[in-house]
Amino acid sequence: MEDKKHLLPSDKKRKRLIKVNAKTNPNYGKSPDERSVKELLNYGMINLDKPCGPTSHQVVAWVRDMLDIDKTGHGGTLDPNATGILPVALGDAVRALQVLLSAGKEYVGIMTLHKSFDKKQIMEACNSFVGDVFQIPPLRSAVKRVRRKRRIYYLDVIQIKDRDVLFRVGCEAGTYVRTLCVDIGKKLGAGAHLAELKRTRIGYLREEDSVILQDIKDAYVIWKEEKDEKELRSTILPMERLLDHLPKIVIRDSAVGAVCHGASLAIPGVVEVDTDINKDDLVAVLTLKGEGVALVKSLMSTEEIMQKDTGICADLERVLMNKGTYPSIWKKS
């Protein structure tokens, strides 16, 4: 259980409220856990522990080749020398990767100071960066170098040995830990740099549940040669795991086809809704079987969605489900 000091925004506890009772038709769609291995290879994700050395792009290409599929993508680039969680989406699951931009991230790293300081000075300097910080991406980054605001949720000094500082930081997506170390060095007045970095969390994806490249290769070979899919199923997770940190709205079977064809979400289609949804929140829309249908921008709060009987409650941001998975009942009506 995560202690309160180390909570990311994605750790917010929500309850599921039932607006109306509805049943799902077993003839359409299926629970994510019931997907076949072939379906997972086109609609799954891997919580990968990236090794030191290759780029994130190289690692994802290796996964694509290992699994003999056409398309892979990753959520959140790690530098070649950085290790840790690199979520890899398979096939059509790449549509869901954008949701990780709203998931907080955690890193453990070693910062090397360019001069010795006592523990109190180091702790005070690190604590001063908790909250909103302004950063300019480093020269080697692939994004435009403009000043931008990011949030540091927590920054702990775990151990100090000579000039090396072992730390743990929870931060908003898009935070440059390398830049953070340089800025801490400036605050101390002597300079500092990032020596080592490992990403240990992205939302609900954690280091202890990750797999390495060799695990993927072994599991795939066992499935291909021995027809044993147990290891591959524990390696490839349903795409919906990428949505774990988002609030959810569950919709009727009859509304799924309309959303997949680009319609906004109307209140009559809503069956269940999570607590603490606010206007403009990014929300995941699910079927009654738990399948990811789409990402939407909420136009109403949870309370409004529960109270109203008509109106549009969310605008479509991204369709996740393939058209035709559920029948287009809306066309008939």
- Average pLDDT (13-39) is 96
- Residue 178: enclosing H or E segment and its boundaries? helix 177-188
Residues 108-128 have pLDDT tens digits of 999 999 999 999 999 999 999
Point out the catalytic residue in the list 11, 49, 65, 79: 79
Would 32-101+206-240 and 104-202 be classified into the same CATH topology? no
Query: 122 near 160, Cβ under 8 Å?
Result: yes
- Is the alpha carbon torsion for 287, 290, 291, 297 positive or negative? positive
Name the amino acid, one letter, at 221.
V
CATH of span 104-202: 3.30.70.3190
* CA 190 to chain CA centroid, nearest Å: 36
- List the beta bridge partners of residue 273: 17, 249
Is residue 47's pLDDT more than 70? Answer: yes
CATH value of 4-30+246-332 in 2.30.130.10, 3.30.565.10, 1.20.1630.10, 2.40.110.10: 2.30.130.10
**What whole-number distance in Å separates Cα of residue 268 and Cα of residue 311?**
8
Residues 258-296 have pLDDT tens digits of 999 999 999 999 999 999 999 999 999 999 999 999 999
Give the pLDDT score at 9.
85
User: pLDDT tier at 140 (50, 70, 90 boundaries)?
Assistant: low
Query: 246 near 97, Cβ under 8 Å?
Result: no
Instruction: Name the pTM for this structure.
Output: 0.93
Can you read off the two tokens belonging to residue 211? Answer: 């797999």
Active site residue 79: yes
Is residue 2's pLDDT more than 60? Answer: no
Spatial strand order of the sheet with 16-18 comes to: 16-18, 270-274, 248-251, 282-286, 292-298, 312-319, 265-266
Burial (CB count within 10 angstroms: exposed 0-12, middle 13-18, buried 19+), residue 215:
middle
Report the topology of domain 32-101+206-240. Answer: Pseudouridine synthase (3.30.2350)
Is residue 53's pLDDT more than 50? Answer: yes
Residues 179-214 have pLDDT tens digits of 999 999 999 999 999 999 999 999 999 999 999 999
Name the amino acid, one letter, at 4.
K
- Average pLDDT (29-52) is 97
**What whole-number distance in Å separates Cα of residue 166 and Cα of residue 174?**
21
Q: Where are the domains of the chain?
A: 4-30+246-332, 32-101+206-240, 104-202
